[in-house]
A and B are shown apart, each in its own frame.
Chain A
Amino acid sequence: MTYMKKPSVRHPDLPKNELGLTRRDYEGLVSTLCAGCGHDSISAAIIEACFELDLPAHRLAKLSGIGCSSKTPTYFLNRSHGFNSVHGRMPSIATGANLANRDLIYLGVSGDGDTASIGLGQFCHAVRRRINMVYIVENNGTYGLTKGQFSATNDKVSQSKKGEANLFEAFDLCTLAIQLGAGFVGRGFSGDKGQLVPLIKAALRYNGFAFLDIISPCVTFNDHEASTKSYGYVRAHNEAMDRLDFVPKLQEITAQYEEGETTSVPMHDGSMMRLHKLDKDYDPRDADNALAILRKRYERGQVVTGLLYVDDDEADLHELLNTTKEPMNAVPMSELCPGSGELEKINKDFR
């Protein structure tokens, strides 16, 4: 079906959000990924999250590297500018773009090859610099476009489709992100939209580096019996730490939870995250605890999901650099160029 153009006809009764836009207004081109690809579910979740948040799509920029995951920004948010950069280098593009205009929302989409191998260095430094962005890894443990090589997030116990053994331990990107100081770290599963949409919404509203590792099975190369990134395996071993509700600014909190099991995390823009605890060991504000849970549960073969760590008071790069409040690309040249008088003074210093 991928050769077909999407019809532009809209049903008149499609529900509209605050901006008067329908879900269709947040869509992109028809996906060219394999039927059943987890990545398409993530694209759908991004569309849903942006629609529900009433985001003006043109105020969001979508950025990616190279690979199946990095193709997906074509399949959502047609009204947003996009940048499909080079392999593993999306973080640096995002950093520069963010410096130029701090007012836009930056959504980076990457894969496990793009982030955990060729782009590992740039990923680490983007976290370290506290870029205010959402960084999604669509994690399937395999190199799809080049036909099924292991990636660095493929678990050691997880064989290839052809039965080859994987010799090396996997990187756990959530563990890495927490260690590097990411202020918002979550893991989702492309097969659980109910969990994923609130996670993406909260990440989009988070001020700072929001990281989402989303397990997204590759139906063609890594969805078999021996894989730990298959739909079947993740469904059977998914350990959700919490149930997240994202409550927009000014909206009344209606969900009811049992006393003592719910945490509220205020967001920068006045909205609120409500975290309903599903696991007695879990504490989303304790990085050490999150790291311990990730490690222990991994040893048990479990896939820990949910919002794993949040720091609601982290300074982003602009705050660290003390840059102007206005977008840098809006500062007029008249303010940026010091003029001839100043240059006269500077010349004096060279005499």
Chain B
Amino acid sequence: MKRSFDFVIKFANVNGSGSASANLLFAKSLFRMGLGVVPKNIFPSNIQGLPTWYEVRVTQAGRTARRDGVDIMVAMNAQTYSQDIAEITAGGYLMYDSSLPRPFSRKDITILGMPIARMCAEVYERPRERQLFKNVVYVGALTALLDMDFDVVKQAVYDRFDGKDHLIGPNIKALEMGREYALKNFDCPLPIRVKPGKGDKDRIMVTGNEAAALGCVYAGATVAAWYPITPSTSLAEAFERHAKRLRVDKDGKRQVAVIQAEDELAAIGMVIGAGWNGVRAFTSTSGPGISLMSEFMGLAYFAEVPLVLFDVQRGGPSTGMPTRTQQSDITTCAYASHGDTKQVLLFPADPKECFDLTVEAFDLAERLQTPVIVMSDLDIGMNEWVTKPLEWDDARAHDRGKVMDAEMLDRVEYFGRYWDVDGDGIPYRTLPGTHPSKGAFFTRGSSHDNFATYTEDGEVNAENLDRLTRKFATAANFMPKPVIRKSGRSSKLGIINFGSTEPAVREACELLAREGYKLNTMRLRAFPFGKQVTRFADQHERIFVVEQNRDAQMRSLLMTEAGIPGEKLVPVLNYDGMPLTAEWVKNQIEAVIETDKSVAAAMQLSMRAM
């Protein structure tokens, strides 16, 4: 096999066997060597005993997309041998535990058998240790096979177990055992190997949920209420972990309250109560939780209470695929709740943006006095991504929106909670307890007039709904702008995408460009859509809308809310639950370009224009 520095290695494990920690060690070491690393955890909705995989694409620095094909399979789970072996690309490698040697039918791959269980049994006493260190032994072997910098790997162990020093020795021992075995028994290094990169040393490796949690800390959120649900759980837990450390007052008391609620209904109820009372509050959930929260989402929209909601999307419908990724809550979130309800959505594309857009979300929620939903997904939320470091500008002021304090109330003759004084659809609010005789109002989900008083006057209610429409139009001006990349300048073909599809789309564009297809891209970052979105649509004849759901939900939203004609928007849909690969995106687009005459015509148009 010819040398390759861009390859995919996949670990097939049994969940609950301690493999996650060893696999992360492997990925982190490569990251520290300056390489591009794209780890994806493909795990079951289960605690122990079922198959789980960890896939790592090793590539040049800067790439963050998955790649098709498996070049090296580390098969540690006998239950899935046949499917794992079938997945290996011709010319690839299979590493397996040969404590019980077995025959393999494939002749087009190289078998690397290592008696891992036996090696561990000889060295470790306790059954749990024998199990756990099997994972570290194969990482050790890989350091030799792939020509990894062993000092970097060892340092990663020291850092990982800092403070639990008694674990360092046995881990290093396991690494060395594997490495020595490989050096002695295999032809090291393999043609597939790492080439130490000059990758940006400044980069970090982090999950989107952790970054979003830090965004909540930096945004000044003090109340979080949540109900455990994969894949959003780690967001709330990370927030609690960081906040407990960073939010301690001079008396040792906490400037934060995190409540694990009895269900998602209560979780968002608490967040609404807290937001109404003047703190920044959030909840995090996934699809099923969104369904449960919908009634309250309508209340928060109509009563105009700020809150931030994270939807870390997973496979639907219903319970769906709780441990797989999708972007299939777009429609339900954009219109969350009954009646004429519209919600503000933000679409982060990586962990760095999870941090930035989270901070933005809290400002927007208070400025607009409405819920803001951060539409993350399992891929961004739970997988480790190599990304730019998180940044904070100490000069950045938090925008708390239009809140009248006692002094302001004293200056006005009277106060109307829903009175559009500024003409932008955003009224002024007051917090409970502010003034002895002014500014009190009755927050309600029933139809109300400018003074928050209940009304059954249809015209008054319609006026209020119209004001909310004005507010939503104002919101569009505040939204983070889409990111537009013009590779073909005057190309008439475009791509619209959002969220975690970005790495695959970006790489696919490079692949397409190599074949002569130059496409401009626009990555959406928010709903409501701004002027840039319609302008981009106007500038292009055909636009591929890449998204991870069956029903082309974003395409529909673009048609309905941005008025883009449907025939212009070509759906490119994936809903198998896996993060996209560049090849897949490229193949889909190429197939349309080559078969669809109207697209081909647009292509011709672009070529001529260039």
Q: Of the candidates B266, B278, B442, which one forms a contact with A92 in the assembled complex, judged by CB atoms under 8 Å apart? A: B266
Q: Of the candidates B273, B299, B436, B454, which one forms a contact with A79 in the assembled complex, judged by CB atoms under 8 Å apart? A: B436
Whether B442 contacts A96 by the Cβ 8 Å rule is no
Asked if A306 is at the interface (CB within 8 A of a chain B CB), the reply is no
**Within 8 Å CB of B275, what residues of A?**
96, 100
Binds A, one of B12-20, B178-186, B243-251, B489-497: B243-251
Main secondary structure of the interface of A (DSSP, over half): helix
A/B interface sample: 28 pairs, CB < 8 A: A57-B440, A82-B440, A82-B441, A83-B276, A83-B443, A83-B444, A92-B225, A92-B265, A93-B270, A96-B270, A97-B432, A99-B270, A99-B273, A100-B222, A101-B278, A122-B266, A318-B257, A323-B255, A324-B251, A325-B251, A325-B253, A328-B255, A331-B249, A336-B220, A336-B222, A338-B217, A343-B214, A343-B392
Whether B254 contacts A324 by the Cβ 8 Å rule is yes
Whether B433 contacts A93 by the Cβ 8 Å rule is no
**Within 8 Å CB of B281, what residues of A?**
96, 100
**Within 8 Å CB of B270, what residues of A?**
92-93, 95-96, 99
Whether A86 contacts B295 by the Cβ 8 Å rule is yes
Asked if A263 is at the interface (CB within 8 A of a chain B CB), the reply is no
Interface string of B229-246 (1 = CB under 8 A from A): 000000000000010001
Interface string of A79-91 (1 = CB under 8 A from B): 1111111100101
Whether A96 contacts B389 by the Cβ 8 Å rule is no
Additional pairs, 4, CB under 8 Å, beyond known A83-B276, A97-B276, A350-B206: A79-B437, A89-B266, A122-B265, A346-B214
**Within 8 Å CB of A83, what residues of B?**
273, 276, 442-444
Whether B442 contacts A82 by the Cβ 8 Å rule is yes
Whether A92 contacts B261 by the Cβ 8 Å rule is yes
What is the bound-complex CA distance between A329 and B429, given in angstroms? 15
Min CB distance B166 to A, Å, is 22
Whether B222 contacts A96 by the Cβ 8 Å rule is no
**Within 8 Å CB of A96, what residues of B?**
223, 225, 269-277, 281
A contacts with B, residue count (CB < 8 A): 59
In the complex, the number of residue pairs spanning A and B with C-beta atoms less than 8 Å apart equals 217
Asked if B158 is at the interface (CB within 8 A of a chain A CB), the reply is no
Q: How large is the interface on B (under 10, 10 to 19, 20 to 34, 35 or more residues)?
A: 35 or more
Instruction: Assess A86 versus B274: contact at CB under 8 Å? Given A59-B433, A321-B254, A333-B398.
Output: no
Interface string of B273-316 (1 = CB under 8 A from A): 11111110100000000000001100100000000000000000
Min CB distance B220 to A, Å, is 4
Closest A-chain residue to B225, C-beta based? A96
**Within 8 Å CB of B392, what residues of A?**
337, 339-340, 343
Asked if A94 is at the interface (CB within 8 A of a chain B CB), the reply is yes
Min CB distance A335 to B, Å, is 7
Interface string of A26-64 (1 = CB under 8 A from B): 000000000000000000000000000000111101010
The chain A residues found within 8 Å of chain B, CB to CB, are 56-59, 61, 63, 73-74, 78-86, 89, 91-101, 103-104, 121-122, 124-125, 129, 318, 321-326, 328-329, 331, 333, 335-340, 342-343, 346-347, 350-351
Instruction: Assess A335 versus B206: contact at CB under 8 Å? Given A83-B443, A324-B255.
Output: no
**Within 8 Å CB of A333, what residues of B?**
220, 397-398
Whether A61 contacts B432 by the Cβ 8 Å rule is yes
Closest B-chain residue to A77, C-beta based? B440
Whether B440 contacts A81 by the Cβ 8 Å rule is yes
Identify which of residues 202-228 in chain B touch chain A, using a CB-to-CB cut-off of 8 Å: 203-206, 214, 217-220, 222-223, 225
Min CB distance A317 to B, Å, is 8
Instruction: Assess A343 versus B441: contact at CB under 8 Å? Given A80-B432, A96-B274, A350-B206.
Output: no
Closest B-chain residue to A340, C-beta based? B392
The chain B residues found within 8 Å of chain A, CB to CB, are 32, 203-206, 214, 217-220, 222-223, 225, 242, 246-247, 249, 251, 253-257, 259, 261-263, 265-279, 281, 295-296, 299, 389-394, 397-398, 430-437, 440-446, 454
What is the bound-complex CA distance between A328 and B259, given in angstroms? 15
Q: Of the candidates A78, A104, A129, A336, which one forms a contact with B247 in the assembled complex, judged by CB atoms under 8 Å apart? A: A336
Instruction: Assess A129 versus B390: contact at CB under 8 Å? Given A96-B270, A96-B281, A122-B269.
Output: no
Whether A58 contacts B205 by the Cβ 8 Å rule is no
Instruction: Assess A81 versus B441: contact at CB under 8 Å? Given A92-B265, A96-B281, A328-B279.
Output: yes
Q: Of the candidates A82, A99, A351, which one forms a contact with B205 in the assembled complex, judged by CB atoms under 8 Å apart? A: A351
Closest A-chain residue to B224, C-beta based? A99
What is the bound-complex CA distance between A318 and B251, given in angstroms? 14
What is the bound-complex CA distance between A81 and B434, given in angstroms? 10
What is the bound-complex CA distance between A347 and B386, given in angstroms? 12
Q: Of the candidates A57, A93, A99, A125, which one forms a contact with B262 in the assembled complex, judged by CB atoms under 8 Å apart? A: A125
What is the bound-complex CA distance between A111 and B214, given in angstroms? 41
Closest A-chain residue to B201, C-beta based? A351
Whether A100 contacts B273 by the Cβ 8 Å rule is yes
Q: Of the candidates B256, B257, B443, B445, which one forms a contact with A81 in the assembled complex, judged by CB atoms under 8 Å apart? A: B443
**Within 8 Å CB of A347, what residues of B?**
204, 389-390
Min CB distance B284 to A, Å, is 15
Instruction: Assess A101 versus B277: contact at CB under 8 Å? Given A83-B443, A338-B246.
Output: yes
